[in-house]
Amino acid sequence: MNQLVLTLNSDGVASPGMKAARDASEIVRFALHSFDNSDLSIAPPVAGHPIAYDMGTSANNADERRTIYANWILSQAFSEVARGIRESLEEAYFFLKIAKIHDGPMKADAFNALMRESRKEAQRAKFPDLIAKVNQGLTEALVFAAEFHSLQKVRNCLEHRGGTVGAQDADADGVLILSMPRIKLSYMRGTEEIELEPGCTVDPGDERKDVEIYSQRVTRTRAYRLGERITFTADEFQEIAFACTLFLGDLVAKLPKATPGDLKRGKLV
Write out pLDDT tens, residues 93-112. 989 988 777 556 677 788 78
pLDDT at 241 over 60: yes
Q: How far apart are CA 68 and CA 165, in angstroms?
A: 18
pLDDT at 243 over 60: yes
Q: How far apart are CA 180 and CA 244, in angstroms?
A: 8
Lowest-pLDDT range, 97-111, 122-136, 149-163?
97-111
| pLDDT bucket at 265, cuts 50 / 70 / 90 | very low
Share of the chain above pLDDT 90, in %: 32
Segment 147-152 shows an average pLDDT of 87
Strongest mean pLDDT among 99-108, 178-187, 225-234, 253-262: 225-234
pLDDT at 62 over 90: no
pLDDT at 115 over 90: no
| pLDDT at res. 13 | 93
Kindly write down the DSSP assignment for every residue of 201-220, as one continuous string: ----SSS-S--PPEEEEEEE
| pLDDT at res. 20 | 95
Q: Name 177's bridge partners.
A: 223
Exposed (0-12), middle (13-18) or buried (19+): which is 170, by Cβ within 10 Å?
buried
| pLDDT bucket at 128, cuts 50 / 70 / 90 | confident
For the chain, the average pLDDT equals: 84
Global confidence as pTM: 0.78
Write out pLDDT tens, residues 24-48. 999 999 999 998 888 888 777 666 6
Residue pair 77/7 in contact (Cβ under 8 Å)? The answer is no
| pLDDT at res. 102 | 58
Write out pLDDT tens, residues 10-23. 888 999 999 999 99
pLDDT at 53 over 70: no
Cα Rg of the chain, angstroms: 24
pLDDT at 4 over 80: no
pLDDT at 264 over 60: no
Segment 242-250 shows an average pLDDT of 90
Q: DSSP character for 254?
A: T
Segment 240-269 shows an average pLDDT of 72
Share of the chain above pLDDT 70, in %: 87
